[in-house]
Amino acid sequence: MQDWSLFADWHTHTRFSDGKGTIRDNALAGQARGLRQLAITDHAPGSIGVGIKRPLETFKQMRAEIDAWNSTQQMPQLLLGAETNVISRQGDLDLPSELIEQLDVVIVSLHPLVRPLTWRDGVTLHLPNAIQRFTPWRSRRLREANTKALIEAVYRYPVSFVAHPGLWIDIDTEELAQACARRNTALEINCQHTDILADYVKAAMPSGVDFVINSDAHCPAQVGQLEAGLRLAQKLGLPPERIRNAVQRGETG
């Protein structure tokens, strides 16, 4: 891995959700880190307390700010994305398809603290996951439901990658990885949680699925801090060719 570096950070947040900086702040931080691409991926509206408000207006404003930066031809190139939430057992996401189609990067996450599509989804999926996070209790049915919901989302939408798979949510990593490999969807190595997610990365590797390494930055100082993910990939023997934002030193990405 010494001959490889990461040219992009495709998972960062701004003040449009629960981040601390502006789009420009993140861009300047990425520039200082030598990144060639940076995605702005704020939480979609279903995230309780932190999701973006008025998505139609907000994404229009975000796109305008991103286009203004890109028009200067400075590095990094900015991409507009969103960290969407699975809000039903059938894999529905908390953004309409017409908005999803306008995004450069579509992240899918399964978080417990989201507004479910129906009360039944809340009772059978999100509430049990919220409870399970703080107890040793595990349910085979919930594990199956979580895995199925993520796989359904991957098949129904143009998902770029699944964020921090297995973080606080019990899933069948091997089954999800196999589905993502079939759909050409990557799994994320999240640099905020490498200690927790190492076993999930290891379990996913035999499927042949690709990975991305991202900062999940919530402040500009975290943008491009990808070293922990690189160390984990090296420790597990993950080939750089399977990391989508890895590039051999001297190449442009």
Of the candidates 83, 76, 117, which has an alpha carbon nearest to the alpha carbon of residue 103?
83
CB 253 within 8 A of CB 8: yes
Q: How far apart are CA 27 and CA 78, in angstroms?
A: 7
- Which residue ranges in the chain fall short of pLDDT 70? 1-2, 249-253
pTM of the model: 0.94
In this predicted structure, what is the pLDDT of residue 248?
77
In this predicted structure, what is the pLDDT of residue 12?
99
In this predicted structure, what is the pLDDT of residue 251?
60
Identify the bridge partners of residue 84 per DSSP, sorted by sequence position.
108
Q: Which domains does the chain have, with CATH numbers?
A: 4-248 (3.20.20.140)
In this predicted structure, what is the pLDDT of residue 100?
97
The amino acid that residue 41 corresponds to is T
